[in-house]
Amino acid sequence: MKLLRFGPKGNEKPGLRDQDGVLRDLSGFLPDLTSATLGKATLARLAELDPKQLPAVAEPVRMAPIVADIGKLICVGLNYSDHAAESGMAVPAEPVLFTKATSSIIGCNDPVVLPRGSVKSDWEVELGVVIGARARYVEIEDALDYVAGYCVVNDLSEREYQLERGGQWDKGKGCDTFGPVGPYLVTADEVPDPQNLDMWLEVNGKRFQAGNTRTMVFGVAHLVSYISRFMTLNPGDVISTGTPPGVGLGQKPEPVYLKPGDQMRLGIDGLGEQRQTVHAWNPELIDG
């Protein structure tokens, strides 16, 4: 299933995209798509519904963050060896972990607002893994049983804040609007091999990133197992698994960074596309 949330901020509803591409309203069956509704039993009941019996939703409509109460957005750095090389960093022996503030999370097509004074904001298309069951010290062979589904994430990054302001990546990763997720939570049964998904990102119509999840240093099962050793993963948590090469920081002869008016378009096969317009600092675009 392609599950989603739609509607204006504060009035979001749950929905699904049926096999004919029609957006359907799930709110008569489910109050919202939350951490409490990602368990296997609820997903199984949703799968038994006849989408044609659900109300169709007129489009266009805002696509909201895919889970109403994402508890943690945990990211993996340098998880593609060629991206590590373009960043001038070594391939890590163990996964590099950092977090994005939940205040960075937005709908997949919401405005991206540059931090005040930012000159080094960058893009990163990534596979997101949505946790569906509490995971603690999970073995690799069991790890995918804890996954509710997958999504697209744009792990936007302010490189000056990340790399030049005292060594804490979180400062460059958690800026407001720097965590677009969605448009869909595609349930795990529709993604039989998360290590064979093409992914891409364009800025102003130019393709900068084109990769495949098969080239991850640490695969999805490894990451779920590894992270569960250091913190409990709860339903609704999202793991953003790293980006392939082609980020702005790695462009030659000089880096290319986002500026107001830029248009980003990105996607992963089977998981949908995102589109964002970049804006100068404007808190009304964040809070509105």
pLDDT in tens, 120-138: 999 999 999 999 999 999 9
Question: pLDDT at position 229, please?
Answer: 98
Cβ–Cβ under 8 Å, residues 73 and 179: yes
Question: pLDDT at position 19, please?
Answer: 96
CA distance 149 to 89: 31
* DSSP string for 86-140: HTT-PPPSS-EEEEE-GGGEEETTSPEEPPTT-S-EE--EEEEEEE-S-BSS--G
Question: pLDDT at position 38, please?
Answer: 97
Using CB atoms within 10 A of its CB, is residue 60 exposed (0-12), middle (13-18) or buried (19+)? exposed
Question: pLDDT at position 127, please?
Answer: 98
CATH among 3.50.50.60, 3.30.2320.20, 3.90.850.10, 3.40.50.620 for 68-287: 3.90.850.10
Give residue limits of the domains in the chain: 68-287
Judge if the upstream peptide bond of residue 183 is cis by omega within 30 degrees of 0. yes
What percent of the chain is helix, strand and coil (3-state, nearest 5)? 20, 30, 50
Residue spans of the chain under pLDDT 70: none
Look up tokens 């989603």; give the residue.
4
